[in-house]
Amino acid sequence: MTTLSEPMRATARPARRSRASVLTRRVSTVLLGGLVLFAVVGPLLLADPAAQTLDRYLEAPSLAEPLGRDEYGRSVLSRLAHATRLSLVLATLCVATALVVGTAAGILAAWRGTWVDTILRSVSEVFVAMPALLVVLLVAATADGGVWALYVGIALAQWVEYFRVVRARAAVVLASPAVEAARLLDLGWRHVVRRHLWPDLRPLLTTLASLGMVTSILAMSTLGFVKVGLEPPRAELGLMVTESFPYYDVAPWLSLAPVTVLFLLTVCFLGLRRTETA
């Protein structure tokens, strides 16, 4: 009976990990696609999430209402669709803003150096020293809550992650012989960004963006859960969990629905990250 030699085993292990990573991303993409479809189509087809039918108080799940109704007779399925859409849209805006600002600042600091780098590093260290949720809470308190306050707070809390990673990696790329040759040939900064910086930074930014989506969604839900984020009657996943707690013994489906969506969103975005870049 033949056995694999040690070099063959060493070659086979990375191949298996690569196949598992590809499969994980495919499954995550399919599940996330289903959630996005639910968030886009659901609010268009389902009832008003704020519409109350008090005589259907805590109605159990049925064919007409697969997730039942809450303590005000509102459709849980409709509220879940609107809450999922809110979480995805707001998280996408936060991540996009943090990515653009942090990446631009990181490249600028690595490219220019000197006092520009010193100032940007000092600003980033202030945000690093403050807990992310504290930044969001401060902005939300100053702006009296609301969607835009959450957006600004979460984006401010996240941009520093992109800045620090991009600055460190861009400094290495910009010091490489290929970039030095491009500068000597006077090919311009667009060529350096397109041909050297972007290919090197793209995998890192993909991973950070996936993790940023998870962070944003969980931050919104956490603030809603402790009732310092968005306010009722807006449909939001964290608020839905909080509102369902007094009825968990008679209507467990109320809390199960938003918790399941939060879990699936977290798993999907974590599955999309490029683990091979770690």
**Mean pLDDT across 219-246:** 84
Q: Which of 134-143, 169-178, 268-277 has the lowest mean pLDDT?
A: 268-277
Per-residue pLDDT, averaged over 24-50, amounts to 90
* Residue 6 pLDDT exceeds 80: no
In the predicted structure, residue 113 carries a pLDDT above the cut 90: no
- 3 state SS for the chain: CCCCCHHHHHHHHHHHHHHHHHHHHHHHHHHHHHHHHHHHHHHHHCCCCCCCCHHHCCCCCCCCCCCCECCCCCEHHHHHHHHHHHHHHHHHHHHHHHHHHHHHHHHHHHHHCHHHHHHHHHHHHHHHHCCHHHHHHHHHHHCCCCHHHHHHHHHHHHHHHHHHHHHHHHHHHHCCHHHHHHHHCCCCHHHHHHHHHHHHHHHHHHHHHHHHHHHHHHHHHHHHHCCCCCCCCCCCHHHHHHHHHHHCCCCCHHHHHHHHHHHHHHHHHHHHCCHHHC
User: Among positive and negative, which fits the CA dihedral 57, 61, 65, 66?
Assistant: positive
What is the reported pLDDT for 1?
47
pLDDT in tens, 202-216: 989 999 999 999 999
pLDDT at residue 83, as a whole number: 94
Residue 224 has a CB neighbour count (10 Å cut-off) of 27
Q: What average pLDDT does the structure give for the chain?
A: 84
pLDDT of residue 258: 92
| 225-250 average pLDDT score | 84
Report pLDDT for 179: 80
Report which of residues 129 and 264 the model is more confident about. 264
Mean pLDDT across 74-98? 94
Q: Which range, 50-59, 122-131, 158-167, has the best average confidence (pLDDT)? A: 158-167
Looking at residue 5, its pLDDT comes to 55
Asked which of 22-26, 75-79, 144-148, 168-172 is least confident by mean pLDDT, the reply is 144-148
pLDDT at 3 over 80: no
Flag whether pLDDT at 137 surpasses 90. no
CA-closest candidate to residue 147, choices 230, 63, 250, 233: 230
* Low-confidence winner among 53-62, 71-80, 186-195 (lowest mean pLDDT): 186-195
- Give yes or no for residue 263 having a pLDDT over 90: yes
- pLDDT class for 105, splitting at 50, 70, 90? very high
Peptide bond into 233 cis (omega under 30): yes
Percent of the residues in the chain that have a pLDDT greater than 70, as a whole number: 90
Q: What is the pLDDT of residue 51?
A: 84
Give the residue with greater pLDDT, 177 vs 14: 177
All domains of the chain in start order, with CATH? 23-272 (1.10.3720.10)
What average pLDDT does this structure show over 239-251? Answer: 87
Single-letter residue type at 188: G
Q: Is 227 left (phi over 0), alpha (psi -120 to 50) or beta?
A: left
